[in-house]
Amino acid sequence: MPLSRFDLALLEKVKPAFLAGVDEAGRGPLAGPVTACAAWVPVSSHSLISPLVNDSKKLSHLQRERALRLMLASGVRFGFGFSGPLEIDRVNILEATFNAMGAAVRRLLSNTGVSPSQALILVDGPHRIKRLESCAQEPVVDGDARSLSIAAASIYAKVIRDRWMQVLDRRHPGYGLGGHKGYGTAAHLEALRRLGPCAQHRRSFAPVRKFSRAGAAGE
């Protein structure tokens, strides 16, 4: 089913004044932030972006970059949020993801001048976003493969996170963060064994704890 059909059916049935999708990138990695995006896709843009927009996991790096450029040129609006390693370690990855998603939604609503009471937020996954009671929310399991708005958000969140990991790679050389994006690849685990964690590693994650030691790199 075309991704736009899910969103259009909701707009017809529920008739919200404002429909947006939310997704995250980076829950699983051992390093770097978890990022989130909220995306509003005007109905007039659906046919323009549908040929390129899909679940970000199904697209290559170049396809995601191309899709993002098209969305920005077609009037899609975005809000961004993130939670860094310290916050992830402090509250756990799920709560940090909720915080990032909530920030993304609030930023989108602020940027578009939309009242929370007018919005229906489609959330990728089985959960509603905590501490965002002012907005109506609809969890959508596998939402990035079903909803155009969520897929748009997934692309933005992934592209922005990947770009940031390239920056962190230059700040913390030796780990290969720009290549594996913080995921627990064999090369990343070997770098952790040699260097210990840097300031961007999530110390509450078991593989990082294993290689933690006094005087770790980057601190």
| pLDDT 10s digits, 187-196 | 999 999 999 9
Contact 95, 77 (CB under 8 A): no
Are residues 199 and 91 part of one domain?
no
Q: Which residues pair with 140 in a beta bridge?
A: 124
Model confidence over 87-122: pLDDT tens digits?
999 999 999 999 999 999 999 999 999 999 999 999
Looking at the structure, do residues 80 and 117 belong to the same domain, yes or no?
Answer: yes
pTM of the model: 0.93
Q: Are residues 165 and 183 in the same domain?
A: no
Residues 131 and 185 reside in one and the same domain? no
- DSSP track, 76-127: -EEEEEEE-HHHHHHH-HHHHHHHHHHHHHHHHHHHHT--GGGEEEEEESS-
Distance CA 115, CA 136 (A): 11
The domain containing residue 190 runs over which residues? Answer: 172-211
Domain-located, residue 151: yes
Same domain, yes or no: 130 and 177: no
> Residues 10, 77: one domain?
yes
Number of domains in the chain: 2
Give the tens place of pLDDT for each residue, 153-184. 999 999 999 999 999 999 999 999 999 999 99
User: For 41-90, how does the pLDDT look when each residue is reduced to its tens digit (9 = 90+)?
Assistant: 999 999 999 999 998 989 999 999 999 999 999 999 999 999 999 999 99
